[in-house]
A and B are shown apart, each in its own frame.
Chain A
Amino acid sequence: MNLQTDLKSEHVSHLVVSGFAQVPAGTPVRDTLARMRADRRVVCLVVDGEEPAAVQLVGIFTERDVMRKVVDVPGMLDRPVDEAMTLDPITIGPDASAADALRLMDEHHVRNLPVVDGTGKLLGIMTHQAIIQFLADRYPVEVLNRPIDPEQFPRKAEGG
């Protein structure tokens, strides 16, 4: 039993993946930022199509893009988000294993993988956070139930 075997046998669909904000392609960066703040999300998926059931993923826009392409680039706020997003992001299916997801993130140096099922439905964002949560739940004795402040020691003995 080790990390790799654990993660190989766990499907992405069984992890707690993160949520995301969503805007239609062509939305100005300014409005995209407002959407992300309102939803408290660090990832925004940029989609084509109106019907919720039939949207098409065209790009991903994250806090990293805000940092590198928006915040100190004059005029970007009024440009469409399409100019700052990553086109055709790498995605992962719900039946892929957590180990596959980690490998993909590592190889492509990304930390957000949109989870998309066979019909193109957007299910969430696979991040490292999902793996942390898994490890905490998988090893509650070691990880979850730790003394809050490991440096605090009782000053006197006491019963009850």
Chain B
Amino acid sequence: MSTVATEEIKLTRKDFVSDQTVRWCPGCGDYSILAQMQRILPETGVAKEKTVFISGIGCASRFPYYMNTYGIHSIHGRAPALATGLAIANPDLTVWVITGDGDGLSIGGNHLLHAIRRNVNLNIVLFNNRIYGLTKGQYSPTSRPGTVTKSSPMGSTEQPLNPIAVALAAEATFVARSIDSHPQHLAATLERTAEHQGASFLEIYQNCVIFNPNEWTDLSDRRNRDDSILYLEHGKHMIFGKDRDKGIRLNGFTPEVVSLDEVDLDEILVHDATSRPLASILGSMEFPDYPAAMGVIRDVRKPDYTGELMAQVETAQAQRGKGDLNQLYLAADLWTVEEREETEAREITPSSSDFDEMPITGLDEEYIDEMETPAEVLSDFQDLLVTSTLAALEPNVPITMGMRSSLARTIRQMNRHNIGCVLVTDEEDRLVGIFTEWDVLNRVAGLVDDLAQQRISDYMTRDPMSLKDDLPIAHALNLMSLHGFRHLPLVDDNGQPTGIISFRDVVGYLNEALEEE
């Protein structure tokens, strides 16, 4: 096995971000999934060049473009088939399959089943938005009955598939579920998905803000999601609720929600991720009758496909020697395909402009109107998040230091101005680094003997993330929440710092602006 030198290097999130323009709609849950994937991959310790993302077709399936790893945006529904081939041909690779509810369960349902059934060493992630997003909102095999879409104007009459039940039907050795709007849970579940050997199947409830925006609101609403989600932990009681006052009990074969005030703890089910029957029960619990089970539903170890297959190949080769593919070809009947004379031109089919002129009936218009009514009016607060720019925060003028400044001088300046962070600039006053109290604690205090002898440029964080002040406040909150930044530098078009904002500024501003109304 070849070991690439870069495996030794500790990768960061940035290493997994590609230079491609992301083409999802603003607000799409796919962004959250991408951000968490980029966050957890460095933790798994797998080298970039050993990681491959394979997808089919759909919005979800655009994922490989945005990962700075190998990737294949393949054929509709066929990602599991391609991935199977790759995983077998090169077992050193970590292969992720990214698919949607349409890609993975309509056209590709078959391929998905067999990759799981064979326990190929793949991490399969299915983004379930219960709609075809890319083709502009037709119902999908996971859409609930009654869902009104462009292809089901009177409401779908079909029984939806439950992806967890599908994976279990194929005896998946790892089955899990998470949701885009809960980044911590999502990150932890992605990590578990990556760890498992064999086929891992993760369903992510994903919000399509454009064509199916209300699908997951009960589960994603931060104020009461803990009442609608059962977070699973192996070996722990199935307790849930914002105040952890409800539990799941079995009544015969049927699970039921009980209040912990009325039922003893030992009657409450304990999660066992190795139990096949329990996995089926958890998979069958549909919201709103039950809380949605989230986390690892099943996790067992079975021989993976590549290992078994290659062992057979080895045995066969030991008995009969290495085969010759060329000879195998030539052993069959051979014939030559000749070019044929062009026959008469085919009949021309109507062009799309002919269709445009066909009249739409009144009935259709009625349904289209119904579908296009906006679902929810934005609150003032949501409005403020996206319409106010960072300039409105009237950011503080930043304290900057030249790269050659000494640590002693820098720390004196920070204490004089009573600030927790300074920006570091080059000869042309462009932002090149940031130096914070955490750096002082982490790399300086008690570790550096003579503060006057050391340059700030050796202790700062290089190339910090910076923003222009015409971006909405929501963007700053996004970066602060994803990366835990407390301060964000603002720069102008030349890259020169113009301000610095902290979370305190943001909250202060939002509070005040709302009071004025």
Question: How many angstroms between the C-alpha atoms of A136 and B27 in the bound complex?
Answer: 12
When the two chains form their complex, are residues A66 and B451 in contact, meaning their CB atoms are under 8 A apart?
Answer: no
Nearest-CB residue, chain B, relative to A16: B184
Which residues of B lie under 8 Å from residue A33 when comparing CB positions?
Answer: 441, 445-446
Question: How many angstroms between the C-alpha atoms of A133 and B32 in the bound complex?
Answer: 13
Which residues of A lie under 8 Å from residue B437 when comparing CB positions?
Answer: 42, 63-64, 66-67
Which residues of A lie under 8 Å from residue B510 when comparing CB positions?
Answer: 3
- Nearest CB of chain B from residue A34's CB, rounded to whole Å: 8
Q: Select the stretch in B141-149, B261-269, B312-320, B407-415 that faces chain A.
A: B407-415
The reply on A142 being an interface residue by CB < 8 A is: yes
When the two chains form their complex, are residues A136 and B478 in contact, meaning their CB atoms are under 8 A apart?
Answer: yes
B interface residues, how many (CB within 8 angstroms): 72
Q: Select the stretch in A45-53, A117-125, A149-157 that faces chain B.
A: A149-157
- Nearest CB of chain B from residue A12's CB, rounded to whole Å: 13
Nearest-CB residue, chain A, relative to B481: A136
- Nearest CB of chain A from residue B208's CB, rounded to whole Å: 11
The reply on B440 being an interface residue by CB < 8 A is: yes
- Nearest CB of chain A from residue B99's CB, rounded to whole Å: 14
Which residues of A lie under 8 Å from residue B154 when comparing CB positions?
Answer: none
Which residues of B lie under 8 Å from residue A137 when comparing CB positions?
Answer: 181-183, 222
When the two chains form their complex, are residues B242 and A14 in contact, meaning their CB atoms are under 8 A apart?
Answer: yes
When the two chains form their complex, are residues A132 and B503 in contact, meaning their CB atoms are under 8 A apart?
Answer: yes
When the two chains form their complex, are residues B21 and A143 in contact, meaning their CB atoms are under 8 A apart?
Answer: no
When the two chains form their complex, are residues B242 and A146 in contact, meaning their CB atoms are under 8 A apart?
Answer: no
- Nearest CB of chain A from residue B52's CB, rounded to whole Å: 19
Question: How many angstroms between the C-alpha atoms of A33 and B445 in the bound complex?
Answer: 8
The reply on B220 being an interface residue by CB < 8 A is: yes
Given A67-B420, A67-B437 in contact, is the A141-B209 Cβ separation under 8 Å? yes
Which residues of B lie under 8 Å from residue A141 when comparing CB positions?
Answer: 27, 207, 209, 213, 382
Question: How many angstroms between the C-alpha atoms of A136 and B483 in the bound complex?
Answer: 12
* Interface flags, A25-42, vs B, CB<8A=1, else 0: 000011001001100001
Question: How many angstroms between the C-alpha atoms of A146 and B73 in the bound complex?
Answer: 23
Interface residue from A67, A129, A144 paired with B411 (Cβ < 8 Å): A67
- Which of B62, B73, B445, B471 has the most CB atoms of chain A within a 10 A radius of its CB? B445
6 A-B pairs besides A111-B504, A148-B17, A149-B21 with CB distance below 8 A are A37-B442, A129-B480, A139-B385, A140-B29, A144-B32, A145-B29
